[in-house]
Structure 1
Amino acid sequence: MSTTDERVRAELVTDPAAAMSRLAGADRFGEYVIYERQGEWVFAADPMGGIELDVDELRVSWQGETTAEAWSGRPAAVLDQALGRLPLGGRNAYGWIGFEFCAWALDAVAHVPARTTLAHLMVPRIEVRIDDTGHAISGATPDEAEAILALIAEDDEAPAATPAEIRLDPTGYRDRVAEAVGEINAGRYQKVILSRKVDLPFVVDVPATYRLGRANNTPARSFLLRLGGLEAAGFSPELVVAVDDERVVTTEPLAGTRAFGRGADIDAATKAELLADPKEIVEHAISVQTSFAEIAALAEPGTAAVSDFMAVRERGSVQHLASTVRGTLADDRTAWDALEVLFPSVTASGIPKREGVDSVFRLDHDPRGLYSGAVVTVSGTGALEATLVLRAVYQTTEGAWLRAGAGIVGQSRPEREFEETCEKLSSVAPYVVKG
């Protein structure tokens, strides 16, 4: 069957998120990952190969054939080597890694249940890219390209939401926060991010939720995926790590939160409050300090630097204190090394990271999975980007849910931290579309 490589730019797409939602919702291109960054959306679909890594087994597939084997060592190195064995021919890879991926580097393997999925990457046959110059299609047959163009050009109405109830808390979140504050004040660690899960009582139309949520959020990155039995859509507030073709490694820690979108005067007042709150400043400063140390451990000496320190960035229903940390990757380090060192994000785990992650596993109770993990893209040139998975909706055959957390330090108050989770859940909960 012949394929087309349609690289001629066409008319501008006025609503890329809606076009991407239609491509996903059409359900004719197999599994997919949609990823938005810096004004470009990509729809990567119909895997020709992939890599699945769980606690016990590595499975590598290519054009219908799958091999399975036990693995040992560190998950990042295992994925790097597995990708290197595939005949990619310059193709890109897309996928996700779960929070539990960090356990091997942080001595927390005993916390991870058997058969937990750690990572799932795929190499697409079809890629559709949309940016401010138009769109491009590669890898599709002529009939598929025609269908793609029709879906991109379609003019349909935005979906209607079934807002989710977020204030119920069967997880005992306030009590868990109080327990963490006690451990912090006893000197066990400085900070931990504890989260709570909100189950949804209906099946979710995830592509439609992505479309409606993206229209009402201001993410650093956004994503929509269906891969390995998991559907998810989210509006990521920050990068975990990016390594570009010039080997510049970047992370963007966000810590310190107030509500946003409640009117200009209220937003200005809460911004001033955020910038003056000692608890929020301490939380942010220790996060940046940790991120800088991690970048410095990866980078050529003297290249690690902090920029935009403690800027305020608006992310949907909340505003955060934010900084950027960069360095030039040392010659003996790879992009996957950078991912391993910087994952999980310090703003989604804790400080020190080892003790923080241990506390997460003990006090968050159920596995996080994709929540506070990352959606990952790997270019044909080896550049890598991993965006933090927060402000998202998740769905499997067992149900659908939301999840949000807050950074707990010694000055934390359980009621305020619970309220912060509500503020973050409000980035997604009002836009959930019932399936």
Structure 2
Amino acid sequence: HRVLEDIGERSKSTSPNSQLSPPSSNGLKSNLSQADYTERVEKAKNYIREGDIYQANLAQKFETPFAGCSFQLYKKLMQVNPSPFSGYLNFSNFSLVSSSPERLVKVHEHRIETRPIAGTRPRGQKEEEDRVLLVELLSNPKERAEHLMLVDLERNDLGRICQDGSVCVTDFMFLEKYSHVSHIVSNITGSLAPGARVYDILKSVFPGGTITGCPKIRCMEIISELEPVVRGPYSGSFGYIGFGPYMDLNIIIRSIVICDGTASFHVGAGIVADSNPQKEYQETLDKATAMIQALSR
């Protein structure tokens, strides 16, 4: 396994927390208590046992009053958690501040690429603790099985719009380290079939399997049942679409929405048959850390 250049090196001044308590300061509140979230994890596991799905991503939503400048918040988030698919969007009625680490799809000269992330651990306080966490992440049977399942899902998505035999996994289960969490990532590519249009590509790959689950449609139905509010921009995508076709779109995670004097964000975890509800809840808090710190600055 190869470890990519540590993006989190640029934010060493921000120390990660290996265990977090449910946030309560600065007016930050979740739409789900810890008990509510873990109860929903158990319900998702029941759907898995009954054969409806193999895996589902369940999210909770945090929000807090916000009266600052959304662009300044974006700059703070980039200092805390620099990420390769980040961006700032300012509309008439809301702003989106994103530090996304994940690419949904890239198309260039009829080559298509997707880059699923599945598998997370918090960063260690010290180098040795960090190393132990990374070794455990890559060797964990649950994390490996979940990641492989989602790689297969994305291979199938690309297979619907690519030339026969062209879809391949070019990089499998490598590590990327960010300021507060580390992820398992894979890279999947293919050659677009003649006549594949932008519409066909988006219909095949959107939304990303890592933030819905497998199979996608049934997972989205279950997510709609179990999550008490709609996701909004979270788990959507932004980027560019050009002629050719050319495109590069992210997945909107690690992102904050500013609207009507409120800052809100979602954080989720992938639920599988042997998920530990408390650990899945903790994973959502680990993913929330950078956004909480940016909002607290």
TM-score, structure 2 as length reference:
0.86
| Larger relative contact order (Cα-Cα within 8 Å, sequence gap ≥ 6) | 2
Q: 2:207 corresponds to which residue?
A: 344
Q: List structure 1 runs of 4+ shifted beyond 2 angstroms.
A: 163-171, 201-205, 379-382
Structure 1, 373-382 or 203-212: larger mean CA deviation: 373-382
SS in 2 for 1:299: coil
Match of 2:100 among 231, 236, 259: 236
Q: 1:392 corresponds to which residue?
A: 255
Name the count of aligned residue pairs: 271
Match of 1:269 among 106, 129, 132: 132
The answer to whether the Cα contact below 8 Å between 1:240 and 1:251 also exists between their aligned partners in 2 is yes
The answer to whether the Cα contact below 8 Å between 2:66 and 2:261 also exists between their aligned partners in 1 is no
Alpha-carbon distance between aligned partners in 2 of 1:255 and 1:219, rounded to the nearest angstrom:
16
Q: 2:12 corresponds to which residue?
A: none
Alpha-carbon distance between aligned partners in 1 of 2:191 and 2:160, rounded to the nearest angstrom:
11
SS in 1 for 2:160: helix
Alpha-carbon distance between aligned partners in 2 of 1:224 and 1:321, rounded to the nearest angstrom:
25
Match of 1:402 among 262, 265, 273: 265
SS in 1 for 2:57: strand
Equivalent position amino acid for 1:174 in 2: T
Match of 2:182 among 305, 312, 319: 319
Match of 1:170 among 32, 35, 40: 32
The answer to whether the Cα contact below 8 Å between 2:104 and 2:237 also exists between their aligned partners in 1 is yes
Q: CA deviation at 1:264?
A: 1.1
The answer to whether the Cα contact below 8 Å between 1:314 and 1:320 also exists between their aligned partners in 2 is yes
TM-score, structure 1 as length reference:
0.60
The answer to whether the Cα contact below 8 Å between 2:124 and 2:133 also exists between their aligned partners in 1 is no
What fraction of aligned residue pairs are identical, expressed as a percent?
A: 28
Q: CA deviation at 1:354?
A: 1.3
Pairing 1:225–2:89 present? yes
Q: CA RMSD in A?
A: 1.9
Q: 1:186 corresponds to which residue?
A: 50
Q: Which runs of 5+ in 1 are unaligned?
A: 1-162
Alpha-carbon distance between aligned partners in 2 of 1:195 and 1:355, rounded to the nearest angstrom:
16
SS in 2 for 1:428: helix
Structure 1 residues 419 and 204: CA distance shift in structure 2, 3 A: farther
Instruction: Tell which structure's C-alpha radius of gyration is larger.
Output: 1
Please identify which structure carries the higher strand content. 1
Equivalent position amino acid for 1:190 in 2: Y
Equivalent position amino acid for 2:287 in 1: K
Alpha-carbon distance between aligned partners in 2 of 1:261 and 1:395, rounded to the nearest angstrom:
31
Structure 1 residues 365 and 225: CA distance shift in structure 2, 3 A: same
Q: CA deviation at 1:168?
A: 5.5
Equivalent position amino acid for 1:364 in 2: E
Match of 1:377 among 240, 255, 260: 240
CA displacement 1:377-413 (0-9 Å, x = unmatched): 1235541111010001111126221210000000111
